[in-house]
């Protein structure tokens, strides 16, 4: 039995999960790159707005009026843009379970059940986010200071959650084929 060399990093700096899909489309790699750039930009925006707000408050007694909303929106975008990145790379925080007492078949079955539950939860969450976005859009809900509609952000969150479910499903199928 020969061991496979570790996969090379793709355009987003992520590697294909062990046992997961090795061949990814150019569109998928481009999407991951864009989500990585978006996540990093949002993190920098949060730091910049917070620094300017604190500095303006302390030095000029003039905080940024919409700083709280800007940071909230940037944080939501950051978290949900990073979700497909973490899902595709299979780098979620997990709770270790000692599998030493069960055989490889039972461990594989347990992993399949965990994947199915996770896919179901992500799909359900995406559906509920979509419904919430539609409701907020119908109600005309917007941010107080920025006066920007909230619904597009919630729909983005729903789309990223659904994308995460799809990546997890593809990885789970690929792992079961091995």
pTM assigned to the model: 0.81
Instruction: Give the CA distances from residue 107 to residues 1, 93, 102, 122, 173, in Å, rounded to whole numbers and listed in that order.
Output: 21, 18, 7, 22, 16
User: Would you list the domain boundaries of the chain?
Assistant: 26-92+103-177
Classify 42 as helix, strand or coil: helix
Q: What is the pLDDT of residues 14-70, one digit of tens each?
A: 444 444 444 468 888 999 999 999 999 999 999 999 999 999 999 999 999 999 999
Reported as a single tens digit per residue, the pLDDT across 149-176 is 999 999 999 999 999 999 999 999 988 8
């Amino acid at each position: 039995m020969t061991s496979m060399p570790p996969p090379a990093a793709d355009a987003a700096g992520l590697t294909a999960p062990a046992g997961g899909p090795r061949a990814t489309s150019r569109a998928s790699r481009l999407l991951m790159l864009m989500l990585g750039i978006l996540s990093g930009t949002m993190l920098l925006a949060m730091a910049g707005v917070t620094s300017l707000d604190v500095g303006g408050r302390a030095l000029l007694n003039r905080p940024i009026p919409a700083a709280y909303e800007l940071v909230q929106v940037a944080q939501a975008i950051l978290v949900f843009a990073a979700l497909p990145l973490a899902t595709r790379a299979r780098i979620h925080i997990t709770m270790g379970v000692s599998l030493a007492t069960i055989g490889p078949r039972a461990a594989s079955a347990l992993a399949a059940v965990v994947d199915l539950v996770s896919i179901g939860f992500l799909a359900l969450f995406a559906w509920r986010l979509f419904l919430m976005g539609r409701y907020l859009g119908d109600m005309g809900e917007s941010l107080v200071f920025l006066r920007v509609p909230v619904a597009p952000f919630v729909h983005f969150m729903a789309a990223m959650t659904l994308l995460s479910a799809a990546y997890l499903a593809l990885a789970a199928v690929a792992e079961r084929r091995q």
